[in-house]
Amino acid sequence: MLKTKRIYDEFEKSDGFRVLVDRLWPRGISKEKAKIDLWLKEVAPSRELRKWFQHDPQKWKEFLEKYKDELGENLDAVETVKKILVKQPVVTLVYAAKDTQHNNAVALAEYFHQNLLKERKS
């Protein structure tokens, strides 16, 4: 199972393996409180894409396409997440954005749901 969650929300054991998917460490959160199993900043959107998007819901569809293109060029980080998804029964992609619907963790979860389903059907 693949989930997403804000880093500012309370940790729960049901989160499973927690992967921080932001390029920058979240403000005001200690590493102890974060309870992150892996910080995979390499899978986060580029600085340029993040600054362009600025969590603007009107740019969401275009952001998804641009981020998907970046992920296609970042196969090592994508493969790391795939391996975690295979090994761990529950994986939570953790992010810092205030917008819970338009952020890179949601985009990444969508990307893996689409791509893993395609691979399993093949």
Residue-range domain boundaries for the chain: 2-115
pLDDT at residue 115, rounded to an integer: 80
Q: What is the secondary structure of 15-53 as a DSSP string? A: G-EEEE--SSPPTT--HHHHT-SEE-GGGSPPHHHHHHH
Under a CB-based contact definition with an 8 Å cutoff, are residues 49 and 63 in contact?
Answer: yes
Residue-wise pLDDT tens digits, 80-99: 999 999 999 999 999 999 99
pLDDT at residue 83, rounded to an integer: 94
The pLDDT-based confidence of 119 (bands split at 50, 70, 90) is: low
The pLDDT-based confidence of 118 (bands split at 50, 70, 90) is: low
